[in-house]
Amino acid sequence: MLPTSSPQIHRNGSLSERDAARHTAGAKRYKYLRRLLHFRQMDFEFAVWQMLYLFTSPQKVYRNFHYRKQTKDQWARDDPAFLVLLSIWLCVSTVGFGLVLDMGFVETLTLLLWVVFIDCIGVGLLISTLMWFVTNKYLMKHPNRDYDVEWGYAFDVHLNAFYPLLVILHFLQLFFINHVVVISSDWFLGYFVGNTMWLIAIGYYVYITFLGYSALPFLKNTVVLLYPFALLGLLYVLSISLGWNFTKGLCWFYKHRVQ
């Protein structure tokens, strides 16, 4: 095992001023953003490993978060490689949507800006902040100043949960919109396959979000984060029964938001 340095702790249990400053949210954020400019310092191989295991065994990804807490005294990622690869996936898949929907260059570029800055960053910041507030306010076992859910960790949980959803709805679905099953059509097989992909994608998001917060030993009642599955199942049954086509709605939304 590699040697690790531990923070100096005073007799009263508090960190020294130097270590406390090094572990502030601002210091962690500065270190994270600084590494965005140094690609050689990013571990892309490990980020790819995480992306693969988010599909096959997401629990293993959160075990690594435990290890980071033990060695670096923070739950959130300190390496932006995962975010960089996720951004590349998002850009490539959005361009793919532009091609499938027969958009021009300007329309595709506009869609890309919308998806990156509004759908991904904007919505991601909103969801992360909401989950950060809810978990710290209502799910803490023993509320105190020593333990809390880091905002950066809440954002990482969102990114982890968002990645499978992105791959399923923004990449795999592209091959079915106008080909194979044509899920953007109004016939039964089309919206059955399309809505099933939505069910799987959102199900991944809910489950990986649950795993992320249940991995924190100081949270309680995290099972409530699985309750949306009931609503998700009900909505899926209704959509199949009533002929709702979520993919067709998404295509319509993408086309009209860039006009």
Give residue 142's pLDDT: 83
> Is residue 19 situated within a structural domain?
no
Residue 6 vs residues 31, 36, 79, 117, 216: alpha-carbon distances, Å: 18, 26, 20, 38, 21
Task: Identify the band that residue 73 occupies on the pLDDT scale cut at 50, 70 and 90.
Answer: confident
Give residue 12's pLDDT: 42
Other CB atoms within a 10 A radius of the CB of residue 254 amount to: 19
Question: Is the confidence at residue 176, as pLDDT, over 80?
Answer: yes
Give residue 28's pLDDT: 65
**Mean pLDDT across the chain, nearest whole number?**
86
Give residue 104's pLDDT: 93
> Between vectors from CA 170 to CA 128 and to CA 196, what angle results, nearest 5°?
95
> Is residue 99 situated within a structural domain?
yes
Q: Which of 2-6, 66-70, 100-104, 167-171 has the lowest mean pLDDT?
A: 2-6
Question: Is the confidence at residue 123, as pLDDT, over 80?
Answer: yes
Give residue 21's pLDDT: 42
Task: Identify the band that residue 53 occupies on the pLDDT scale cut at 50, 70 and 90.
Answer: very high
Question: Is the confidence at residue 13, as pLDDT, over 60?
Answer: no
> Is residue 3 situated within a structural domain?
no
Give residue 27's pLDDT: 67
Helix residue ranges, H only, the chain: 17-22, 25-35, 44-56, 58-72, 81-100, 105-114, 123-138, 151-167, 174-177, 188-214, 228-242, 246-257
> Is residue 31 situated within a structural domain?
no
Question: Is the confidence at residue 161, as pLDDT, over 80?
Answer: yes
> Is residue 208 situated within a structural domain?
yes
> Is residue 23 situated within a structural domain?
no
Q: Averaged over 204-228, what is the pLDDT?
A: 96
* 150 close to 75: Cβ distance less than 8 angstroms: yes
Question: Is the confidence at residue 32, as pLDDT, over 70?
Answer: no
> Is residue 233 situated within a structural domain?
yes
Q: How far apart are CA 224 and CA 213, in angstroms?
A: 11
Locus of tokens 């809390």: 148
> Is residue 33 situated within a structural domain?
no
Give residue 15's pLDDT: 44
Q: Averaged over 196-222, what is the pLDDT?
A: 96
Query: What is the domain extent for residue 117?
Result: 41-73+80-257
Global pTM value: 0.86
Structural domains counted in the chain: 1
